[in-house]
Amino acid sequence: MTQQERITKLNDLSSRENGRYVLYWMHASIRTEENPALEFAVEKANNAGLPAIVMFCLVDKFPQSGRRSYRFMLEGLKEVEKKLAERNIKFILKKNKPTEAIPQYCAEAESLIFDRGYAYTENRWESVIARRCKCPVFEVDSNVIVPVETASNKREYSAATLRRKIVPIAENFIAPCEKNEPVKSSLDLDIKSDEFSIHDARPDLREIAGFKYIGQRLHPGGENHAIKRLSDFIENRLENYENSRNDPASDFQSGLSPYLRFGQISPNLIYRKVKDSGKPCEGFLEQILVRRELAFNFVWYTENFWRYSALPAWARETLEEQKSAKREYVYKYEELENARTHDKYWNAAQKEMIITGKMHGYMRMYWGKKILEWTNNPKTAFDWALRLNNVYSLDGNDPNSFAGVAWCFGNHDRPWTKRSIFGSVRYMNARGLERKFNMKSYIDKVNELQKQ
């Protein structure tokens, strides 16, 4: 049974007595394993003696999203279609805006369930659909360990302030999400649908920004690959994660962020598997529970979280004070995009993201700080960093990405000693990288990726 804390009813309508099915609009949780929204839909359908159907809407354009993300998503959807069929659940793919397609199918639905999305576009879709649908509408928080509003009722200042709230209650929410087997099959349900198959959707992945893209091979999409990656991480890298995760030349990060971004794996499943592994894991649990859910807290409770104005007041004030400070280097967007700066470490990080669809986490912090340093004003720097990350990184357009970029500009951080350009915002430089890591090895690693 789906935990009530995850479920929000968005209107006051009663169940439609002559409904033909329960409709689950899947958009943020592209998986069949441990998906509370899916299981709630099947549960409601069973209680009503009806079949459940699942719908996904493909839109041609999603703000600041590249072809690579589209393809990764499609790979996950192909698995979902197959696994739903094995459970006798019909999967419908609509090539249309959700705000147009979902209300049409709600006309015959007993109720509508959808998984909560956090990006601006997803929030807007959900609000419109909840108003237009003439049946009960339920939203399920299925991509966090602790439901956001249960963890906190306000925007948290830092990891420390959320940690003391979320850690004591996390154990209440990590139990496995049990499957509900459908009482009625929907596979043969007569429902008008487009003549469009998931296999017809083939985004073109040409060279982007002059670099060959190999991320499809390095990071194949789908929940099967997500679970394999989790198992590989636990077996081969978790033990050394805490001591080595920040080293960009090594490979001790989990690699799960793209799968989490598209809801292709449950964070609850990750938390349980890691905690039950018997290996040192406190550092990783801090990331998956506290740091990641701090990002969800940020986008949920912050108006216009994707804008420079979302930064804390002290950060904006100190950056504005330094807006006219002399910058030794100033780059255009295209120069940054094509990794044409004077900084070999920054260039390597940008190339890594373009080539593979991912950038090492520690380098992403350095990368964002340098965009601030090399751009004429902080607002432009913020916009460019977010745009580059969202377009080229497979985990772009995710709460973690929005919060990660905002961190580079002072969010979820404290004021530091004032300096030119940065004001009181934390500073990072190349010497710090060289002092901590073997940066030649990192550059060599990226160069090898270019040759593949």
In a domain, 160, yes or no: no
> What pLDDT score was predicted for residue 213?
61
> What pLDDT score was predicted for residue 16?
85
- Beta strands 137-140; 109-115: pairing state: parallel
> What pLDDT score was predicted for residue 209?
43
> What pLDDT score was predicted for residue 121?
78
Q: Quick one: 205 exposed, middle or buried, by C-beta within 10 A (0-12, 13-18, 19+)?
A: middle
> What pLDDT score was predicted for residue 206?
45
> What pLDDT score was predicted for residue 195?
55
> What pLDDT score was predicted for residue 332?
98
> What pLDDT score was predicted for residue 283?
97
> What pLDDT score was predicted for residue 122?
83
* CATH value at residue 347: 1.10.579.10
**Residue 160: half-sphere exposure toward Cβ, Cα within 13 Å:** 3
The number of distinct structural domains making up the chain is: 2
Long-range contacts of 283-292 (CB under 8 A, 24+ apart): 283/241, 283/242, 283/245, 284/238, 284/241, 284/242, 284/254, 288/145, 289/145, 289/146, 289/166, 289/167, 289/170, 290/159, 290/162, 290/163, 290/166, 290/167, 291/159, 292/144, 292/260, 292/267, 292/399, 292/400
Question: Domain limits at 359?
Answer: 304-451
The Cα 251–Cα 249 span in angstroms is 7
> What pLDDT score was predicted for residue 205?
47
In a domain, 216, yes or no: no
Of 111, 128, 143, the residue at which a domain comes to its end is 143
pTM summary value: 0.95
In a domain, 175, yes or no: no
In a domain, 206, yes or no: no
In a domain, 351, yes or no: yes
In a domain, 102, yes or no: yes
Of 143, 163, 187, the residue at which a domain comes to its end is 143
Segment holding 435, helix H or strand E: helix 430-436
Looking at this protein, which amino acid is placed at residue 413?
A: D
Of 126, 143, 160, the residue at which a domain comes to its end is 143
In a domain, 235, yes or no: no
Torsion, Cα 94 95 98 103, to 10 degrees, reads: -50
> What pLDDT score was predicted for residue 124?
84
* CATH value at residue 20: 3.40.50.620
In a domain, 365, yes or no: yes
Walking along the chain (452 residues) 10 residues at a time, the average pLDDT comes out as 92 89 97 98 97 92 72 92 97 91 95 91 86 94 97 98 98 95 95 67 49 71 97 97 95 96 98 97 98 98 96 98 97 98 98 94 98 98 96 93 98 98 98 98 95 82
> What pLDDT score was predicted for residue 114?
96
